[in-house]
């Protein structure tokens, strides 16, 4: 029997007159990789932002492992074991690669902390070791002393994964982690996400690249115009004429 760890229950979100999300229900099983796909403007990023507390839904609720996330701050949700990678990379460009990973490690351990105090603390061996291990896991250890701004696009996305990994999250939400990546970087990311899965991490991945979806997903939910139009195994969804119509019908922002 699957253990559902993330419930999205009847979520609605409008921006002015635009119904970005309507009647959204979603269940994510523990340890699984759940893909959310759909045309541009379907509401995928909005849904992820509702789950992580960046946007408040107009109605409905998000529950993670028995805790209601709706109404909590992004920081509180993060402290409950939910990590995320947004569509636009969010790193600290002026800090080194290693420092970028130490910050979330420190935040995870101490909760809120003063940014001016972190440099003194990061000399602590346990934090640095955890950060170095995460960098090894994503293949960036050799770049650890480099300024983060100097990394390639693919390496910046890998850095973000290390920043998540160091928090040892129970749920990882990823918004198009392979966007703009070369095929080589995409394949490396697929292998990395498979490795996360082997460690038992539950993942929700928004993805436009069907090769990535079919390599990783146990289950797929399809959104179009703010509604769930299909939900099932990758094979079920691939053969669904409603899904093909949504893509071929060209629903654009």
| CA 35 to mean position of chain CA atoms | 10
| Shortest Cβ 87–ligand ADP spacing (Å) | 7
Residue 47 or 201: which CB sits closer to Mg ion?
Answer: 47
* 233 close to 243: Cβ distance less than 8 angstroms: no
Under rule CB under 6 A, residue 178 binds ligand ADP? no
Question: Quick one: which segment of 13-21, 121-129, 155-163, 234-242 binds ligand ADP (CB under 6 A)?
Answer: 13-21
Under rule CB under 6 A, residue 33 binds ligand ADP? no
Under rule CB under 6 A, residue 14 binds ligand ADP? no
Q: How far apart are CA 71 and CA 76, in angstroms?
A: 10
Contacts of 23 (CB under 8 A, 6+ apart): 10, 11, 12, 227, 228
Which one among 22, 30, 41, 122 touches ligand ADP, defined by CB under 6 A? Answer: 41
Count Cβ atoms below 10 Å from residue 113 Cβ, excluding itself. 13
| Shortest Cβ 105–Mg ion spacing (Å) | 28
Under rule CB under 6 A, residue 5 binds ligand ADP? no
Residue 208 or 238: which CB sits closer to Mg ion?
Answer: 208
Per DSSP, the three-state class of 19 is: strand
C-alpha dist (Å) from residue 114 to 83, 110, 147? 20, 10, 22
Site residues for ligand ADP per CB under 6 A: 15, 18, 20, 38, 40-46, 253
């Amino acid at each position: 029997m699957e253990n559902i760890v993330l419930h999205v229950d009847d979520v609605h979100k409008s921006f002015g007159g635009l119904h970005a999300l309507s009647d959204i229900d979603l269940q994510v099983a523990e340890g699984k990789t759940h893909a959310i796909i759909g045309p541009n403007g379907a509401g995928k990023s909005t849904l992820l932002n509702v789950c992580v507390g960046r946007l408040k839904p107009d109605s409905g609720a998000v529950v993670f492992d028995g805790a209601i996330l709706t109404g909590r701050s992004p920081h509180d949700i993060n402290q409950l074991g939910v990590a995320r990678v947004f569509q636009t990379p969010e790193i600290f460009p002026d800090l080194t690669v290693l420092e970028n990973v130490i910050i979330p490690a420190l935040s995870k351990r101490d909760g809120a902390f003063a940014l001016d105090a972190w440099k003194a603390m990061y000399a602590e061996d346990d934090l640095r070791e955890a950060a170095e291990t995460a960098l090894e896991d994503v293949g960036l250890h050799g770049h650890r002393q480099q300024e983060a701004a100097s990394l390639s696009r693919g390496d910046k996305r890998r850095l973000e994964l290390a920043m998540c990994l160091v928090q040892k999250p129970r749920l990882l939400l990823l918004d198009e982690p392979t966007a703009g990546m070369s095929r080589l970087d995409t394949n490396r990311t697929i292998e990395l996400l498979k490795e996360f899965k082997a460690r038992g991490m539950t993942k929700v991945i928004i993805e436009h690249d069907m090769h990535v979806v079919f390599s990783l997903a146990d289950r797929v939910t399809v959104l179009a115009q703010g509604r769930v139009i299909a939900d099932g195994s990758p094979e079920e969804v691939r053969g669904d004429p409603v899904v093909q119509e949504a893509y071929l019908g060209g629903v654009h922002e």
